[in-house]
Amino acid sequence: MSRVLAITTLADGRLLKVTLPDQTHWILLSKDPVTVTDGPVRLSGTAAVAKRWADGQTQVTLLAGGEAACGELTLTSQEPASRQQ
């Protein structure tokens, strides 16, 4: 199991960034639809997750309709969906 190096809250607490030795996770949770960005990540909607591993692999997940992008990977959907690259 990876050890957490840092947990950071951004965008007035709507975006949580969890940094592990080999990956970073960005978690968006908001009552109202918002767009938040941090480095290579842009999440729009109310609930979404982006993951980036040290080897460059990325995954974005929408838990509700919206848009999730991490680097060159982008996903837009009106319902829950996930995409990995």
Q: What is the mean pLDDT of residues 68-73?
A: 96
Report the number of distinct structural domains present in the chain: 1
Whether this prediction's pTM lies above 0.85 is answered by yes
> Does 69 score more than 80 pLDDT?
yes
Please indicate, yes or no, if residue 82 is contained in any of the structural domains: no
| E strand or H helix that includes residue 6 | strand 6-10
- Which residues are within 8 A (CB) of 75 and not within 5 positions of it... i.e. 6 or more apart? 60, 61, 62, 67, 68, 69, 81, 82, 83
Containing structural domain, residue 62: 6-76
Please indicate, yes or no, if residue 36 is contained in any of the structural domains: yes
Please indicate, yes or no, if residue 62 is contained in any of the structural domains: yes
Q: How far apart are the C-alpha atoms of 16 and 28, rounded to whole Å?
A: 7
User: pLDDT, tens digit, for every residue of 12-30?
Assistant: 999 999 999 999 999 999 9
> Does 64 score more than 90 pLDDT?
yes
Please indicate, yes or no, if residue 17 is contained in any of the structural domains: yes
Please indicate, yes or no, if residue 67 is contained in any of the structural domains: yes
User: pLDDT, tens digit, for every residue of 24-56?
Assistant: 999 999 999 999 999 999 999 999 999 999 999
Please indicate, yes or no, if residue 42 is contained in any of the structural domains: yes
Which pLDDT does position 3 carry in this prediction? 85
Please indicate, yes or no, if residue 84 is contained in any of the structural domains: no
Please indicate, yes or no, if residue 53 is contained in any of the structural domains: yes
